[in-house]
């Protein structure tokens, strides 16, 4: 059914294409043919996307402040030091997630095609964020063992310099070799696994915009349990094996708590489910979802900063005690390669949307 544009009015769910509507949100829709300027102006108007935009756009500045705070510490070296390559990649992941999310909600009303592409990119940045987190976990939270020969050939020393006071433990030779094998296996497959899972999640989420729409919120939420589980492997290991500093467990549990709450909001569509139309502009579930996801990111950032602060290597200039420092390829290179793959996935799904729209137009002309 063709829709006549009303410049000064927002629309109800019956006046916009079905693919634009959200469950239990009855009003506050913008016409899906806004200009770039009109989209910018709508950020200051009461639409059902206004809160979605601001909850992540303002979060960018809060995150940036808390991120840069680490470089104000007295013992911190240059911001360009290789030690901080994973930290900056984590920043890239979070910044991309928050900024793209806010821009997707602001500009998705320019056209139906742009709407689809906006959210394809949104899903891609969420996946990239999980890899940014994995890089930070790998270099700052994953135990960095240095195996050195002990008193005789029957014992090895496992020295963990992850904390302010080094922990040295003696292992029988066979146990030490087994432990070394486990560490080698983890260090070989952890980051590649995180990247592979991120790509799978991107494809699955993009697919929910064209298929499985009835269960799209459940699928999009549950599909990111996999990258969370893979990325959090170093934390699970530390919590199980130890040693654990005083903040890791508390920050990680808070991080998990906010993620669970955000998932509940995203799947249940509370509170608008119980009162459709009342929360169309402010207070609907997606705004709470944004708030909770950002709180989880903030606790994650505090956890990573606390781990960095506990590392003795930077403060004591004993970089030689740690394994090789991060390199441009092992951090920025990984993130760049991942972004290229994600861009390819988005391009394929975008072309599918273009072809579907073209077929739909041809059918209308024929009829």
Please report, in range form, the residues annotated as the binding site for Zn(2+).
105, 286, 290
Tokens 């006071």 locate to 165
What 3-state class would DSSP assign to 33?
A: coil
Q: What angle do CA 180, 185, 188 make, to 5 degrees?
A: 120
Burial zone of 157 (CB within 10 Å; 0-12 exposed, 13-18 middle, 19+ buried): middle
Q: How far apart are CA 88 and CA 168, in angstroms?
A: 31
Q: Residues marked as binding?
A: 105, 286, 290
DSSP per-residue codes, 216-242: HHHHHHHHTHHHHHHHTHHHHHHHHH-
- CA torsion sign for 91, 97, 102, 104 is positive
Nearest to 126 by CA among 345, 351, 348, 353: 345
β-sheet bridge partners, residue 160? 145, 167
């Amino acid at each position: 059914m063709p829709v006549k544009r009303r410049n000064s009015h927002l629309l109800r769910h019956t006046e916009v294409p079905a693919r634009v509507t959200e469950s239990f949100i009855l009003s506050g829709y913008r016409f899906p043919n806004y200009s770039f300027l009109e989209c910018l102006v709508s950020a200051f108007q009461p639409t059902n996307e206004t809160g979605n935009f601001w909850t992540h756009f303002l979060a960018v500045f809060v995150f940036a402040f808390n991120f840069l705070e680490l470089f104000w510490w007295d013992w911190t070296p240059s911001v360009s030091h290789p030690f901080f390559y994973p930290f900056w990649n984590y920043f890239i992941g979070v910044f991309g997630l928050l900024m793209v999310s806010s821009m997707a909600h602001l500009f998705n009303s320019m056209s139906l095609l742009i709407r689809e592409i906006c959210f394809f990119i949104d899903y891609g940045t969420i996946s990239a964020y999980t890899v940014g987190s994995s890089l930070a976990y790998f270099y700052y939270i994953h135990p960095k063992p240095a195996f050195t020969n002990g008193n005789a050939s029957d014992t090895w020393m496992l020295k963990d310099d992850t904390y302010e006071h080094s922990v040295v433990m003696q292992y029988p030779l066979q146990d030490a070799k087994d432990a070394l094998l486990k560490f080698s296996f983890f260090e070989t497959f952890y980051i590649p696994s995180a990247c592979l899972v991120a790509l799978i999640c991107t494809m699955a989420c993009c697919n929910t915009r064209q298929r499985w729409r009835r269960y799209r919120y459940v699928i999009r939420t549950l599909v990111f349990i996999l990258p969370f589980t893979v990325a959090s492997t170093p934390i699970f290991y530390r919590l199980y094996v130890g040693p654990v500093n005083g903040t890791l467990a508390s920050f990680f549990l808070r991080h998990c708590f906010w993620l669970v709450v955000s998932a509940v909001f995203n799947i249940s569509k509370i509170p608008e489910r119980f009162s459709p139309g009342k929360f169309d502009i402010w207070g609907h579930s997606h705004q709470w979802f944004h708030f909770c996801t950002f709180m989880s990111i903030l606790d994650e950032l505090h956890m990573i900063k606390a781990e960095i602060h506990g590392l003795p290597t930077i403060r004591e200039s004993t970089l030689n005690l740690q394994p090789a420092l991060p390199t441009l390829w092992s951090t920025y290179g990984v993130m760049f390669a991942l972004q290229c793959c994600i861009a390819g996935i988005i391009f394929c799904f975008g072309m599918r949307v273009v072809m579907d729209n073209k077929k739909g137009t041809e059918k209308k002309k024929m009829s």
